[in-house]
With several copies, the nearest count.
Chain A
Amino acid sequence: MKNNIDLGVSLYGFTQRYIEEDGYNFREMFEDLNKLGIRKFELVGAQMFQNYPNPTDEEINEVMELAEQYDVEPFSYGGYVDFGKLPDHRMNDDEIMDQVTYDLMTAHKLGCKYIRGFGIPNHLYERVAQMAEFYQVVVAYEIHAPQRPSDPDIQELITIFKKLQSPWVGFVPDFGCYIEKPNELHIQRYMGLGAKRENLQYIIDNRWNGFTEEQMTQKIEEMGGGLAEQMAVSEWFGFLSFAPADIEGFKTVLPYSKYFHGKFYHIGEDCVETTIPYEELLGLVVESGFNGTIMIEYEGHSFYLNDAVEQIGRHITMEQRILAD
């Protein structure tokens, strides 16, 4: 590649086997990283530590020893703030800071340079920056669908980052924000549940033609759609939303982007991504002068096809082709 961008893989992509198979653990995931020729990985604490947010020394040591054995490297730590876990109230600022500190402690023990932040309100990033500096781990706010970088709260965070001038906070943009149309597998899933392709195509074509979710639900009913089409409307107006990519917004977050989540759901044998404009997005990343890592985040486990290694392999081929141009 002509640039200083490399690829990592989030272990989150191995969710299906990790959850379904008792015997598929860190060793097996690291073997899969070796197969893929990937060294850097992200680990989601809430998923893979059995004692979150304070994993035991035994858990940490297991990861470290196996990582050394398989020559792979904990690069980023997927953090959470489980702000709703208390029995009687939503976490207050001090309680949230405490959760952030736990993740910093763990990232520090793992040798991760980055945390994927989640659930940290904007006004706490000043306190976060200080704690992050103590631990020498960058806390990066994940911009995740259905958010878009042009959203006011993201723009507000840019202002905060400008003011703070701290190298210890920033963004991790997730490419899932730029899905422009549903994946064919999603369409087939709704068809499997009884939806008609022409109805689904109608929803897709008219998603951004001024319909509210309620109006579209009604329209599709009039067209003879049933429960399967209603589900499609609900998901495509919700957490599986798609839209023309917010490219201008993407440009504004690039100066504060610490690494990227190379999210994808499915890629064909031809290794061409058809739903997210990777060529354009990666072009802008290179243009911005970014030196760092795209952390590939496969989310197709939601189709239960048990094809993570194959899919991630195809995606790597695609990214390498784009970045080599």
Chain B
Amino acid sequence: MPTKFSRLGFEKRVIRPDGFYNILLNRKQVGFNLDLRINYYRGLPLSCVQKLEVEVDGEKIPEHLMQFQLREKVFTISELPNMYREYWGSKTPAQLLIYNYGLEPGEHDVNVTLEFKSPYMDFGPGEYGVIDGSAEELLQLGTAREL
């Protein structure tokens, strides 16, 4: 049997400094943005996201402060399991918008827990392979941008 958990070697893509910056609305800082990419060889239906959590400098972000944006649609984290007709492509960054009034300038320890089910690897009824797409990086906060 293949192992049920798999993890590919593209974890450097998951979070990057060029997708990490404070967001402004009418020049007021309201939160920060974190781009997310998939650590896998292919894209996945958005419904495959089973777990998505973010810690910054050891502090967990409450789920209700997060919006998940894929192209021009915005989702709550909890509705992602229903989104089987939205596709998170292998080259498409998703944006996590986090309304926490933003982060201090400088370097931050960003820790993303991101787990997907593999939609075609079955290990019995309702049991699918799990892809670990987590990543942790020390990232320099970029220049703030208007949302």
Which residues between 77 and 93 of chain A lie within 8 Å of chain B, taking CB atoms?
A: 80-87, 90
Which residue on B lies nearest to A146, using beta carbons? B2
User: Given known contacts A57-B72, A85-B84, is B25 in contact with A108 (CB within 8 Å)?
Assistant: yes
The answer to whether A47 touches B47, judged by C-beta atoms less than 8 angstroms apart, is no
User: Given known contacts A20-B10, A135-B25, A136-B25, is B72 in contact with A84 (CB within 8 Å)?
Assistant: no
Complex A-B: 30 CB contacts under 8 Å: A18-B91, A19-B41, A19-B90, A19-B91, A20-B12, A25-B91, A44-B42, A47-B43, A48-B90, A50-B92, A54-B73, A55-B72, A82-B120, A83-B120, A83-B122, A84-B118, A85-B48, A95-B79, A98-B67, A102-B74, A118-B120, A119-B120, A135-B25, A135-B26, A213-B1, A234-B1, A234-B3, A235-B2, A238-B2, A239-B2
The answer to whether B89 touches A84, judged by C-beta atoms less than 8 angstroms apart, is no
Q: How large is the interface on B (under 10, 10 to 19, 20 to 34, 35 or more residues)?
A: 35 or more
User: Given known contacts A94-B64, A94-B78, A238-B2, is B87 in contact with A47 (CB within 8 Å)?
Assistant: no
B134 to chain A, nearest CB (A): 17
Could you say which of A25, A46, A108, A304 has the most chain B C-beta atoms within 10 Å of its C-beta?
A: A46
Which residue on A lies nearest to B127, using beta carbons? A84
Could you say which of A55, A56, A85, A90 has the most chain B C-beta atoms within 10 Å of its C-beta?
A: A85
| Residues in B neighbouring A205, C-beta threshold 8 A | none
- The number of chain A residues with a CB under 8 A from chain B is 50
User: Given known contacts A47-B43, A94-B78, is B122 in contact with A84 (CB within 8 Å)?
Assistant: yes
A64 to chain B, nearest CB (A): 15
A-contact bits for B107-147, CB 8 A (1 contact / 0 none): 00000000001111110011010000000000000000001
The answer to whether B76 touches A82, judged by C-beta atoms less than 8 angstroms apart, is no
The answer to whether B118 touches A54, judged by C-beta atoms less than 8 angstroms apart, is no
The answer to whether A49 touches B99, judged by C-beta atoms less than 8 angstroms apart, is no
Q: How far apart are the CA atoms of A119 and B42 in the complex, in Å?
A: 16
Which residue on B lies nearest to A108, using beta carbons? B25
| Residues in A neighbouring B12, C-beta threshold 8 A | 20
Q: How far apart are the CA atoms of A143 and B74 in the complex, in Å?
A: 29
Which of B's residues lie within 8 Å of A, judged by CB? 1-3, 9-10, 12-13, 25-26, 28, 30, 41-43, 45, 47-48, 64, 67, 72-74, 76, 78-79, 81-82, 84, 87, 89-92, 99, 117-122, 125-126, 128, 147
The answer to whether B67 touches A101, judged by C-beta atoms less than 8 angstroms apart, is yes
The answer to whether A87 touches B81, judged by C-beta atoms less than 8 angstroms apart, is yes
Residue in B43, B64, B84, B125 whose CB lies within 8 Å of A50? B43
Which residue on B lies nearest to A135, using beta carbons? B25
Q: How far apart are the CA atoms of A98 and B87 in the complex, in Å?
A: 16
Residue in A22, A82, A136 whose CB lies within 8 Å of B26? A136
A51: interface (CB < 8 Å)? yes
Q: How far apart are the CA atoms of A80 and B45 in the complex, in Å?
A: 12
Q: How far apart are the CA atoms of A254 and B126 in the complex, in Å?
A: 35
Which residue on B lies nearest to A49, using beta carbons? B89
A15: interface (CB < 8 Å)? yes
Which 3 pairs from chain A and chain B are nearest by CB? A50-B89, A82-B119, A47-B42
Which residue on A lies nearest to B63, using beta carbons? A94
| Residues in B neighbouring A94, C-beta threshold 8 A | 64, 76, 78
The answer to whether B120 touches A81, judged by C-beta atoms less than 8 angstroms apart, is yes
Could you say which of A15, A19, A95 has the most chain B C-beta atoms within 10 Å of its C-beta?
A: A19
A120 to chain B, nearest CB (A): 11
A67: interface (CB < 8 Å)? no
| Residues in B neighbouring A102, C-beta threshold 8 A | 74
| Residues in A neighbouring B45, C-beta threshold 8 A | 82, 85
Given contacts A84-B119, A95-B76, A97-B64, 7 further A-B contacts (CB under 8 A): A20-B13, A47-B42, A87-B47, A90-B126, A94-B64, A136-B25, A136-B26
